[in-house]
Structure 1
């Protein structure tokens, strides 16, 4: 007998105003209630639950919700027949998305949208205007809420109240007075030492190395150690002190008792993206909290910083600025001038901690020669080849690369589907009492983390595939591009920007004395 049951995808979202988390791994009560309600409704309607998509701690205007986007992808593939939500606003609060999906793409994809509380149902042609009104009201709600919050926060900033999620390193939030900072003596000792060492003549990189050699955790690691839910940057050696951490500390007025906020502002209430604001738009209020650094020491440090500032090559951008990276750790190499007057590029990781990096090092002149040599080799190879042969080889290479990337994406997606199925089965086992809440939380967390990792791999691989397809559409223009830059004696910044994506520099070979260089071209 053929199974004619309609498949339903359940979507739940926790709104920020009713968040009530018990722990990092638990679903909120709000999410649990939504799931129970929607599962019961599905059973009453005789629908088969395909999957439960749940976004916890996301607003209705956030378009980057992971489960929301997964839902849309699988809706397009028609892996289910119905999308079920508690209310239309749980799906989205944006009128634009209501029109795009609920009234536009879902009917084309053959997907029915149903929300229980506000009676939205795309099978009911008579309530389309109600759905549109709901979308408009939700849009107004978002905008009004954003303006109200912004107004309150601006007022608090102007009055010198700290409104950030975390206090600056060296301080902690006053448990008795909201918006007030008090000194965290353990971290404050490090801050005082940094200012003192700088006045003694130590450079910023040297100070970072000294702190790392003593095993002192940097600000982000310090937060994690002290139990703060601070998202650690996902890169190598992210627990080490670096040049920029010391530099930012030496320039931060908060350490002399002034509250400085508003350095970044939101682009729009519809996005979480922020952009830097000019200094005249910052909110600076003096004397809001106890200083860690005395005014006299602060002024001496600022005077010393001003003396040490030197533009690179009289204000010009360095030839390989932001292009040269360490082959070992991936960090952008910094430029410095030696006593002989020549410029060198080195990986700063070598100097911030023992064994942090191999210490890639090369002179700017030598790297320039390596690039010109490789460019001339490419030019010779292309000019010697028949143009038709080049084009065929080019397209065959790209097609082969495309097939590899498509297979990788397919393999990742297959694994993701398996993890989603596993999470769904775990949840149903928990509801039936087959496994305990504790077992469910542990297992589902492992499954979710692996699923998230694979989804990021899909996104990264898809980006590479998109670049590849653009190259295939544009055709092989490498011959013409390289031909413009034959027989060069010197490079300029414009040429480097146009031709080079990035360069990996390794450590000098002790035998051959050669420095490995790997050039990644823009063509």
Structure 2
């Protein structure tokens, strides 16, 4: 006889606030209790456990939970019939995800969602409102918790306490006093050497190469080797010192005993994304910890940094600033002046270590000529063959952005309709006497605010679409656009900004004078 038992995916999550670990490698008691309760429930119902998905030390608003995303992927591929949780909030605390998955995609995928404690069950159509209210309460909880945490952290920043996850290179967290930094002498010696070398006239790249040649690990690698918390690297050659690591170190006031925090702020409590904050909004408190660099050396270095930062004379230098990138490692190429008086672009990784990069290198004049030559070639093709106008690929990013915006717009409009429907249902419950007037106002308030927010987003997104549409129309008239730049003898910065997205530059081909170049146009 065919086995008709329902397959159940059990999902458990330990939130940070109820963390109760016995050992770093063990599941918490809370996770164990959840598993035991849910397995017992499955057995009582005569179902079959397909798999247990467990995320430990993750908040209910974290969409990057590994097991959570594995669960969603398996659900989409119909690998089980039921998702079972202790409470709906263990699955998610976001109302948006409740609507997207529990009320949207799970029914489409044929997945039943059940949470035991709060009696959520998508097979019971009568408790949809309670699931929505659960989602709304959880959303309020997230927002309130975020505001409380933000308030506490802001107060600690204002009082000069260090609240970051990672101590700055040269320091470590004081085990005796939370929020206080103490000097890490081994790393501090390197910091002092960097400041001293720069004050003696050594450049930032030269200092990076000296440290790399001596095998001194960069800040990230140093922390990894010493078992300290560190931010995961995202680029190649992440163990090497780079120009920007030296540059940032030389201007960081923490090295003179001042605590400077709040340079970045979160976009929303729903995301871990951060954005830069204006300098006047940073939290700066003097004398919070022992300095590594004395004031005299600091002042001398700051004077030299300011002197070197003076703008270059207007000319071809800076023509391709932030536009030219190394074809090998992807780093932005830097401009420098050679003894022959000409300006060259070279990979910023070229001199930091022997094998850091192949060392892309090209003169500004040669790159300028290559761009002009390619531009004239494109112009000639348009002028000679009108039919080629239809065969040239329009900048893919523009079309992709249009598609993404259209998808966003549709999502916003759908969510507005859903909010309106919830408000109508709540109103009917009020009319029927199921909800009091105050309950109706409280429950519908967030849906009304959400709808107003989304309506503003629809207007803003439509404006962005209109801009994209005008850009596409300009692109459709690209013959006229390119015709403006026919027969150029020299480029200027405005032309480069208008026409070029970025340029990839390779290393000269041995035995020739040819340098591989890929120009990515804005049209």
TM range (shorter): 0.7 to 0.9
Superposition deviation, residue 372 in structure 1: 2.0
- C-alpha distance 229-167 of structure 1, shift in aligned 2 (>3 A): closer
Separation of aligned partners in 2, 1:218 and 1:393: 45
| Counterpart for residue 174 of structure 2 | 174
Q: Distance in 1 between matches of 2:34 and 2:101?
A: 22
**1:316, CA displacement in angstroms?**
11
SS in 1 for 2:503: strand
| Contact 2:324/2:333 (<8 A) preserved | yes
Deviation per CA, 1:249-306: give whole Å up to 9, x if none.
Answer: 1111111111111111111111111111112211111111111111111111111211
Q: Is the 8 Å Cα contact of residues 346 and 359 (structure 1) preserved in structure 2?
A: yes
Aligned-pair CA distance for 1:209: 0.9
Instruction: Specify the alignment match of 1:273 in structure 2.
Output: 273
Deviation at residue 236 of structure 1 after TM alignment: 0.9
Residue aligning to 1:16: 16
| 2:185 alignment partner in structure 1 | 185
Paired residues, number: 448
In the alignment, structure 1 residue 155 sits paired with structure 2 residue 152: no
Secondary structure, aligned partner of 1:155: helix
Q: Are positions 1:114 and 2:110 aligned together?
A: no
Q: CA deviation digits over 1:345-390, x for unaligned, max 9? A: 1112121112222221111121111122223334445665572x88
Structure 1: any 5+ residue segments left out of the alignment? 399-469
Q: Does 1:257 align with 2:257?
A: yes
Farther-moved stretch of structure 1 (74-83 vs 357-366): 74-83
Q: Distance in 1 between matches of 2:228 and 2:177?
A: 19
What are the superposed Cα offsets for residues 178-223 of structure 1, whole Å, 9 maximum, x if unpaired?
1111111101111111111111111111111111111111111111
**Alignment match, 2:123:** 123
Query: Residue 350 of structure 1 aligns to a residue in which SS?
Result: coil
Is the Cα contact below 8 Å between 1:379 and 1:479 reproduced in 2? Answer: no
Query: Which whole-Å CA distance do the structure 2 matches of 1:179 and 1:100 have between them?
Result: 40
Q: Look up the match of 1:291.
A: 291
Residues 127-162 of structure 1: CA deviation (Å, up to 9, x unaligned):
333222322221121111111111111111111111
Cα–Cα, structure 1 residues 249 and 386, in superposed 2: closer, same or farther, change >3 Å? closer
- SS class of match (1:260): strand
The two structures have a TM-score, normalised by structure 1, of 0.77
Structure 1: distance between partners of 2:6 and 2:502: 52
- The whole-number CA distance in structure 2 between the counterparts of 1:502 and 1:89 is 45
Q: 1:386 to 1:258 in 2, by over 3 A?
A: closer
CA RMSD of the aligned region, Å?
Answer: 3.2
**SS of residue matched to 1:329:** coil
- In 1, Cα distance between the equivalents of 2:253 and 2:174? 19
CA distance in 2, matches of 1:393, 1:275: 37
> Would the alpha carbon gap of residues 330 and 488 (structure 1) be closer, same or farther in structure 2, given more than 3 Å must change?
same
Equivalent residues of 1:14, 1:55 under 8 A apart: yes
Give, in whole Å, the separation in 2 of the partners of 1:87 and 1:330.
46
1:103-141 deviation line (CA, Å, top 9, x unaligned): 344334433210112221122233333222322221121
Contact 1:383 1:479 in 2 (8 A): no
1:91, CA displacement in angstroms? 1.1
Q: Which residue of 1 aligns with 2:399?
A: none
CA contact (8 A) 2:317 2:335 kept: no
Q: Could you say which residue in structure 1 is the equivalent of 2:353?
A: 353
Q: TM-score, normalised by structure 2?
A: 0.77
Pairwise CA distance, 1:506: 1.8
- Determine if contact 2:326/2:332 at 8 Å carries over to the other structure: yes
Residue 275 of structure 2: SS of its match in structure 1?
strand
Mean Cα displacement is larger for which, 283-292 or 488-497?
488-497
Is 1:93 the counterpart of 2:90? The answer is no
C-alpha separation between the residues in 2 aligned to 1:62 and 1:33? Answer: 22
Shift in CA distance, 193/122, structure 1 to aligned 2, threshold 3 Å: same
User: In 2, Cα distance between the equivalents of 1:505 and 1:286?
Assistant: 45
8 Å CA contact 2:93–2:139 kept in 1: the answer is yes
- Segment of structure 1 superposing worse, 351-360 or 41-50: 41-50
Distance (whole Å) between structure 2 residues aligned to residue 331 and residue 47 of structure 1? 55
Q: CA deviation at 1:54?
A: 3.4
- Contact kept? 2:317, 2:343, Cα under 8 Å: no
Q: Aligned in 2, Cα 1:133/1:167: closer, same or farther, shift over 3 Å?
A: same
Cα distance change of structure 1 residues 487 and 132 upon mapping to structure 2, 3 Å threshold? same
* Mapping of residues 370-389 of structure 1, within 5 Å: 370-381=370-381, 387=387
Shift of 1:508: 2.3
Distance 2:488 2:286 in 1: 56
Q: Is the 8 A contact 1:263 1:282 kept in 2?
A: yes
Compute the displacement of 1:78 (Å). 4.1
Query: SS state of the match for residue 310, structure 2?
Result: coil
Verify: 1:228 aligned to 2:224, yes or no. no
Whether the 8 Å CA contact 1:8–1:80 is kept in 2: the answer is yes
- Asked if the contact 2:156/2:163 (under 8 Å) is kept, the reply is yes
The separation in 1 between residues aligned to 2:101 and 2:478, in whole angstroms, is 45
| Corresponding position of 1:466 | none
1:187-226 matches, within 5 Å, as: 187-226=187-226
Contact 2:265 2:276 in 1 (8 A): yes
